[in-house]
Structure 1
Amino acid sequence: MKEITTPALSGACDYPNATELLMRRFHNAPDHIAFEVRASRSSITDPWRKVSTHEFVTEVRALAKGLMAAGLEPGETLAIMSPTRYEWALMDMAAWFASAVVVPIYETSALNQVSAILQDASVRFAVAGTAEQAQLLEEGFTQSGVSDWQLWSMDPGTGPTLTDLTHGGAHITLEALEARRLMASLDSVATIVYTSGTTAAPKGALITHGNFVGQVLSVAGAYTEVVKESGNTIIFLPMAHVLARGLQLICLANGMRIAHLSDTTEIVPALGVLKPTFLVVVPRVLQKIQGSAAAAASKKNLGGVWALAQATAVDWGLLAQERESDPGRKAGLSLRVRHALFDLLFYARIRKLVGGRLEYLLSGAAALDAELSLFFRGLGLPVIEGYGLTETTAPLTGNLPHSIKAGSVGVPMPGTTIRISENGEVLARGVGVFAGYNNPADNTHAFQDGFFCTGDTGVLDEQGRLTLTGRIKDVIITAGGKTISPTIWEGYVESDPLIAHAVMVGEGKPFLGGLVLLDSGSVSEWAQSKGFTDLQSLRTPDDGGCVEIDDARLRKVINKVVSAANSKIARSEQVRKIVLLVADLSEANGLVTPTMKLKRNIFTDRSLIFIDKIYAETRSQG
């Protein structure tokens, strides 16, 4: 199959712009709880303040009036740089009520990135989350040559605050605000989102109100089992990411309660307090949960029992997947007994750990190992894997709640067409596909026959499900002329909790090698469980580079992971030699994006000495 279309759902054209998604909810259910808000500096286990849709709209209107009074004109840009928090949601919607264009800036961005975005998007109004971010924005304005800028802070004590902004607009009438709210159309740009830049410099994607409205209606219509008034979620993705904002809009429009969390170390205790029914996660979170369960079992000398429990969960998940096409399939007696036993010992405890009400997980941003997906399904926590980009306003394809195929990223969202080009690239057209880049020069090769060129490669099966196979720019051609897509091998290796990232190398070389970036925290936990005190604190370099870890005990474990990955692919695609590395994986180090994707080119450039080491022996023998 080379092309598949999912018909659009009707209704998007009835909305003037994206603010109407909130206003219709406001008119239908004003007293419904829309948000749970944590009090500043409170314990995660303290009661969270409940905010109704009516209260949210009231706050949004007050802030929007303040922006109008401050001189923000329709179509002007407003930058928001802040951790994930309730005030982010307020300012995002308030800017739209004032008919402005929101420019999100990741909270971890460096000064040169901030300055470049402010200049490229012609920003002169901004909101900061913290004092440090306010200072960065001030310096960014100065560096970019803007003189008449205005800045407000969410935290008090750092200049004008959101309270000051609200007071400044008290004289603006509701009628004037409503007229301003309706100025933007579905074709108007709602936000300029700068891409993470894993392979190139960030580009400003112009996302329209129509993109957001179309996606919200499409997702809500396709996922009625997930998107419902009785549901709730916690958003801990960066709010600068379009997926987080899209998720927030879907929840707002459909009555799902939202809580925000910026510190990912607080996720587990927050799950117990807020008890979400749905979560959006990256695969690394799922790997961590599985790894923590394995470590806990090992401490109790139940490592062997856990291994059988893990295999049983995978078998149960596979059976559940097969039942979707063959409802008559039944579990054998042995599998039923094992699953019931391990549910008592392990599975129920894991479900309780994540709040006890979790019905579905959505995994995105990176490839999810098929076996890991089956494992969570076997636990009773089905994972819906999806695929999307900034340029597609997040979801482009997705598995459906009763049609989940592990390893696939599902079918096109309603109103979307997926086409596979002659060279295997995934092309997309539909309601979520953006209007183009802010810099016209960036659009030169972005589209083909009206389809957006994703840069990803993939295949469609007979049911129209998309399976991703790699990135066009990441293809490796060996000395023997063999073309290899490294993504599959890398995904298998990265499924182990001890490994943060894996990168296959071998361009123009006689065989394939691998750079394995270890997860320092997971290695420390593993070493502690084994009594290896010398590995409980791995030194990460402070010069932006990598350090090799040459430890026989650790290498033995990682070699097993690599061998297992090699066994799943063709011999010509297998990695023969690896190097174990550690590095500072904070965004400030420049190796990863704000969503923790590895910047492959930068990483390999900094690792040339290790790549050279892989092939040094071959050269000396030659």
Structure 2
Amino acid sequence: MREFTVPPLVTSPHVGGLADVVFDRAAAHPEEVAFGRKGPDGRWRDVTAAAFRDEVLALAKGLLAEGIRFGDRVAVMSRTRYEWTLFDFALWTVGAQSVPLYPTSSAEQVRWILHDAGVTACVVEHEDHAMTVGSVVDGLPRLSRLWQLDDGAVETLSAAGGRIADEVVHRHRMALTPSTPATVIYTSGTTGRPKGCVLTHANFMAEADNVLERYASVFRSRPGEAAATLLFLPLAHVFGRMVQVAAVRGGVKLGHQPQLTAAALLPDLRDFRPTFVLAVPYVFEKIFATARRAAESEGRGGPFDKAVEVAVRYAEALEQRAFGTGPGPGAALRVRHQVFDRLVYARVRAALGGRVRYAMSGGSAMDRRLGLFLAGAGVTVLEGYGLTETTGAATANPPERTRFGTVGQPVPGTTVRIADDGEIWLRGGQVFSGYLGDPRGTDAVLRDGWFATGDLGALDADGYLTITGRKKEILVTSGGKSVSPLPLEERVRSHPLVAHCLVVGNDRPYVAALVTLDMEAVAHWLRLRGEPRPDPGELVRDPGLEAAVRRAVVAANTQVSQAESIRTFRILAAQFTEEHGLLTPSLKLRRRAIEQAYAREVEALYRT
């Protein structure tokens, strides 16, 4: 199939902007809980729709009092927290545009984005961020204001706006139209300098409203249950921003968690008890790895592996029944599944707070087997696909017919087309209006209403999309063989001891790989073997560890032809990190930077 369309379920409004829902919701249901906010004492407290409206209004007055005007761009550099959402809606209330910055951005990245976007003011989280901005301020003549969240920015601005009348704010809000730019989100820059994607209020409305309508059963796991989600994705990323907007528009209780680590996240999931979560595959991989290590530490590694196998078979049987290719789980399989549900699967659900039955995953591909296990354990992860340019999800798996290993069908209001060269083209109300100040770059990707994504994929007969690679990342060996590195890398990375895998081989005689280790998993592996933990330089030469990684490589090679297979690999002592410029903030590999940083190791892979 070359093209598949799903009609819209919701027609976007012809007037107004994103902030209107804050005031409409508060007027209709003032005591409805809109947010959960974690206090300094670690306790979660409810914020009503009316209370949030009042905070947004007060902050919007303060922004006007400090000179922020309709169309101004204001940067926000912070981790995911309640105040970011507050600033977003206050800025949208006065017609300003937010420009997100990752809290880990370097001074050069900050300078480029603030300059390119013509930012007039900046909100930062703490003093370190303020110093980063301060170090580049001489080259930013338009930047005139800097506010710090940890230094009382919200309170200071709200107090400054006391003399501004409510109707002044509402006049600004009423001047908005859906076509007004809402935000400029910069791409992660895996292949070059980041580009500013201009997303309008209409883009967010089309995306959020159709997703809310189509996936209503996902957000509320049980009939009559109040929907709630804990947002731990970075709000500098389009996925996090879309979740934020959809939660407010859909009346979903929203909480914020700033740390994407198991140690910080899992306790808050247990306390907040979301009804659904939206995450990247990394989070689900960590939950699985944590559960497996706990079982092994208790001497139950064998039973855990059996539970995984039963869950996978059970979910596969349900998948086959959904698509009319099988009868569903047999009696013996159902009995085994019930036994393991009490012993193993209940613990997995408890790790997510106990109420989650559905989750959404995006940002990168999820291993099919992991998705099947989680579904068999009672948490169906609906994998999707989207880009900054599409305001988040363009495709997603439907809950009633999930096809694991694919990124699903087009979300309502979206058309997916596969071009002659295999490139994925997208069309819909959520597709961006262009790159800021870059008409040539815009023209290169927007073609007669279609957005050319640069990704490669295939549509099956039911309209389910599978991502097969990225055009710019295709390797061509010196023998002329074209190789997509993504499937190989994902398969190697699915091994519990592997953190990252980078496949190389462009203009080389064969394909090879650089591999980094998950040090937490390696430490656990060594404990089980009763071996001391050596320093990283010695660890990478451990014969047992090398044999384990080799098995992962061999398993990956079974998916491809001999000419496309990984012939040799090198285990690295260091990690690919965002701090060293080797990963994007959304944890994608910066291929060019990695190959440059490890040029010597790459050369060694091809010495005869």
1:515 paired to 2:510: no
Q: Distance in 2 between matches of 1:86 and 1:406?
A: 34
Contact 1:548 1:579 in 2 (8 A): no
Partner of 2:125: 129
Alignment of 1:40-439 (within 5 A): 40=40, 42-43=41-42, 47-146=43-142, 149-156=144-151, 161-228=153-220, 230-265=226-261, 266-326=264-324, 329-439=327-437
Asked whether the equivalents of residues 19 and 90 of structure 2 are also in contact (C-alpha less than 8 Å), the reply is no
The CA deviation at 1:364 is 0.7
CA shift, 1:548, in A, is 8.8
Deviations 1:464-507 (A, max 9, x none): 11100000011111222111111111111112232121111112
Identity %: 37
* Local SS of the residue matching 2:278: strand
Any conservation in 1 of the 2:10–2:213 contact (CA below 8 Å)?
no
Contact 2:14 2:178 in 1 (8 A): no
- Distance in 1 of aligned mates of 2:554 and 2:167: 67
Query: Could you tell me which residue of structure 1 aligns to residue 605 of structure 2?
Result: 614
SS at match of 2:521: helix
State the 1:14 CA deviation. 4.2
Shift of 1:200: 1.6
- How far apart are residue 38 of structure 1 and its match? 1.1
3-state secondary structure, aligned to 1:27: helix
Query: Contact 2:475–2:483 at 8 Å: present in 1 too?
Result: yes
Deviation at 1:91, TM superposition (A): 0.4
Equivalent position SS for 2:405: coil
SS in 1 for 2:500: strand
By how many angstroms is 1:302 displaced? 2.2
Query: Is 1:603 matched up with 2:594?
Result: yes
**Unaligned 5+ runs, structure 1:** 540-546, 618-622
Question: Aligned pair in 2 of structure 1 residues 449, 532: CA closer, same or farther (>3 Å)?
Answer: farther
CA distance in 2 between partners of 1:572 and 1:613 (Å): 20
Deviation, structure 1 residue 198: 1.3
Where 2:163 maps in the other structure, the secondary structure is coil
Q: CA 1:10–1:275 in 2, change beyond 3 Å: closer, same or farther? A: closer
Of residues 553, 574, 580 in structure 2, which corresponds to 1:562? 553
Superposed displacement of residue 304, structure 1: 2.1
Find the aligned partners of 2:560 and 2:94 in 1 and give their Cα distance. Answer: 54
Cα deviation code 1:363-403 (max 9, x no counterpart): 11111111111111111110100000001001110001111
The 2-side partners of 1:9 and 1:345 are apart by 41
- Report the counterpart of residue 499 of structure 1 in structure 2: 498
Distance (Å, rounded) in 2 between the aligned partners of 1:28 and 1:65: 23
- 2:568 corresponds to which residue? 577
Q: Distance in 1 between matches of 2:243 and 2:125?
A: 21
In the other structure, the counterpart of 1:592 is: 583
Q: What is the rounded CA distance, in whole Å, between the counterparts of 2:111 and 2:512 in structure 1?
A: 39
Q: Deviations over 1:28-87 (max 9, x none)?
A: 3221111111113x33xxx21210111001000000011111111110111111111000
Deviations, residues 301-324 of structure 1 (Å, cap 9, x unaligned): 222222221111111111121121
> For the Cα contact (< 8 Å) 2:418–2:424, is it kept in 1?
yes
- Counterpart of 2:219 in 1: which secondary structure? coil
Q: Offset of 1:11 from its aligned partner?
A: 3.0
Q: Distance in 1 between matches of 2:449 and 2:326?
A: 44
SS in 2 for 1:169: helix
Cα distance in 2 for residues equivalent to 1:387 and 1:226: 17
Kindly indicate whether the alpha-carbon contact (under 8 Å) linking 1:288 and 1:497 is maintained by their aligned counterparts in 2. Answer: no
Q: How many residues align?
A: 601
Cα distance in 2 between the residues matched to 1:431 and 1:22: 22
Query: Structure 2 unaligned runs (5+)?
Result: none
Q: 1:284 to 1:582 in 2, by over 3 A?
A: farther
Q: State which drifts further: 597-606 or 93-102.
A: 597-606
The aligned counterpart of 2:467 is: 468
Cα 1:211–1:548 shift into 2, 3 Å = farther
Bigger shift: residues 581-590 or 426-435: 581-590
8 A contact 1:519–1:582 mirrored in 2:
no
Report the Cα distance in structure 2 between the residues aligned to 1:297 and 1:66, rounded to whole angstroms. Answer: 53
Gap change, CA 1:507 and 1:585, over 3 Å in 2: closer
Q: Is residue 517 of structure 2 the alignment partner of residue 526 of structure 1?
A: no
Q: Give the secondary structure class of the aligned counterpart of 2:230.
A: strand
Which amino acid in structure 2 is aligned with residue 523 of structure 1?
Answer: V
Q: CA deviation at 1:2?
A: 0.9
Contact 1:116/1:144 (<8 A) preserved: no
Using the TM superposition, give the Cα deviation of residue 284 of structure 1 relative to its aligned residue in structure 2, in angstroms: 1.5
Spell out, residue by residue over 1:145-179, the C-alpha distance to the aligned partner (whole angstroms, 9 max, x if none): 34x611111112xxx72211111111111111111
Please give the TM-score of this superposition, normalised by the length of structure 2: 0.96
Return 334-343 or 161-170, whichever deviates more: 334-343
Cα displacement (A) at 1:438? 0.5
TM-score relative to the length of structure 1: 0.93
Code of the residue aligned with 1:423 in structure 2: it is: D
1:583, CA displacement in angstroms?
2.6
- Contact 2:318 / 2:329 at 8 angstroms: preserved in 1? no
Partner of 1:544: none
Matches of 1:15 and 1:219 in 2, distance apart? 20
Q: Which residue number in structure 2 is paired with residue 453 of structure 1?
A: 452
